[in-house]
Amino acid sequence: MAFTSIQKIRFDDVDGAGIVYYPQFFHLCHGAFEDFFDTAAPISYPTLVKERRLGFPTVAITSEFKAPLSYGDIAVVALTVRKIGRSSLVIAYDIRRKRDGVLTFHADITTVLVDLGTLKPVEIDDELRGIFEKFLSAS
């Protein structure tokens, strides 16, 4: 099962050619990750970061740029969990244009749950693991 986040491509997302500037694709992915917490998890990402002092920094990325997104497009970002480790996650992101369904970007992003005070990995607890397992996909 995939979690879906819908995001509008705004003026500040694009370069002089009117297409999404490549780092913004990663911003769209992180936006989907935060939306995932707002919708699917028992706490919001800001609560996790500010109150529990936990975060999921990125430690590895593989990505492919497939087709452009343009100013005004609607991006449909599908998030699936590929792998859950003791403290790490591999999350796949597929970004499609809503108007025609074309895949514009794919990334596999590895994150590690860390204590924000020490920046040391901590084990993903049963509550969060259960949420991530609902979106686990081998493909």
Position 139 pLDDT exceeds 80: no
- Say whether domain 3-133 belongs to CATH 3.10.129.10: yes
Burial class of 42 by CB neighbour count within 10 A (0 to 12, 13 to 18, 19+): exposed
Place of tokens 């990325």: 61
Domain residue extents for the chain: 3-133
For the stretch 22-62, pLDDT in tens is 999 999 999 999 999 999 998 999 999 999 999 999 999 99
The C-alpha atoms of residue 78 and residue 91 are separated, in whole angstroms, by 10
DSSP-derived secondary structure letter, 137 = -
Q: Residues with Cβ < 8 Å from 81, sequence gap 6 or more? A: 89, 90, 91, 92, 132, 133, 135, 136, 137
Locate 138 and state its tokens. 């081998």
The predicted pLDDT at position 42 comes to: 87
